[in-house]
């Protein structure tokens, strides 16, 4: 044992030990994090036998899924080409509706906050700011 490990002993939480297999299994499918998840498995000192079993199972599942989708989709490429154009139009309409509703929501929210600011009477403003109004406050309001 070296000096550092005596001062800072490495202890893994039990919950992470149980979850590391699931993290490796599903992490294999995350494009940007794949290498980092495998690095985490090494840092967590996952045994190489367990790692190969979990990673192999995940790879087998993925290869089977994509192979089956390719087989089913390969027979109907012409139909898919026609449907993709229709799906693209539907997606664009849904996207336009979402953007329009978001812009309308923002507009109504700003309009509502402006109307609330206009309704704030000077007496309430001083009360909200927790300051005493000046002595000639009533005279200033009349002019």
* pLDDT tens-digit series, residues 88-131: 788 889 999 999 999 999 988 888 776 666 565 555 666 556 66
User: Pick from 60, 75, 90: which residue ends a domain?
Assistant: 75
User: Pick from 38, 55, 75: which residue ends a domain?
Assistant: 75
Residues 10-19: what's their mean pLDDT? 65
The model's confidence at residue 69, banded by pLDDT at 50, 70 and 90, is confident
Q: What's the burial of 143, exposed, middle or buried (CB within 10 Å: 0-12/13-18/19+)? A: exposed
- The reported pLDDT for the residue numbered 98 is 95
Share of the chain above pLDDT 90, in %: 15
User: Pick from 40, 75, 110: which residue ends a domain?
Assistant: 75
- The reported pLDDT for the residue numbered 10 is 63
Same-domain check for residues 4 and 29: yes
| Domain residue limits at 33 | 1-75
Same-domain check for residues 71 and 81: no
Same-domain check for residues 92 and 71: no
- Establish how many alpha carbons lie within 13 A of residue 134's alpha carbon, considering only the half-sphere containing its beta carbon: 6
Number of domains in the chain: 2
Location of structure tokens 């000639």: 136
Written as six digits, the tokens of 28 are: 């294999």
Same-domain check for residues 92 and 32: no
Q: Does the global pTM surpass 0.85?
A: no
Same-domain check for residues 2 and 58: yes
Contacts of 16 (CB under 8 A, 6+ apart): 44
Location of structure tokens 């005493």: 132
Give whole-number Cα distances, 82 to 18, 41, 73, 93, in Å. Answer: 47, 44, 13, 18
């Amino acid at each position: 044992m070296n000096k550092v490990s005596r001062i800072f002993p490495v202890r893994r939480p039990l919950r992470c030990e149980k979850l590391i297999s699931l993290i490796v299994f599903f992490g294999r499918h995350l494009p940007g994090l794949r290498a980092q998840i495998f690095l985490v498995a090494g840092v967590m000192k996952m045994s190489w036998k367990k790692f190969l079993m979990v990673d192999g199972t995940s790879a087998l599942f993925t290869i089977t899924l994509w192979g089956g989708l390719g087989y089913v989709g390969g027979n109907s490429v012409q139909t898919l080409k026609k449907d993709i154009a229709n799906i693209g139009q539907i997606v664009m309409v849904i996207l336009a509706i979402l953007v329009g509703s978001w812009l309308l929501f923002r507009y109504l929210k700003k309009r509502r906050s402006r109307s609330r600011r206009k309704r704030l009477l000077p007496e309430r403003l001083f009360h909200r700011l927790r300051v005493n109004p000046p002595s000639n406050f009533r005279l200033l309001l009349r002019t």
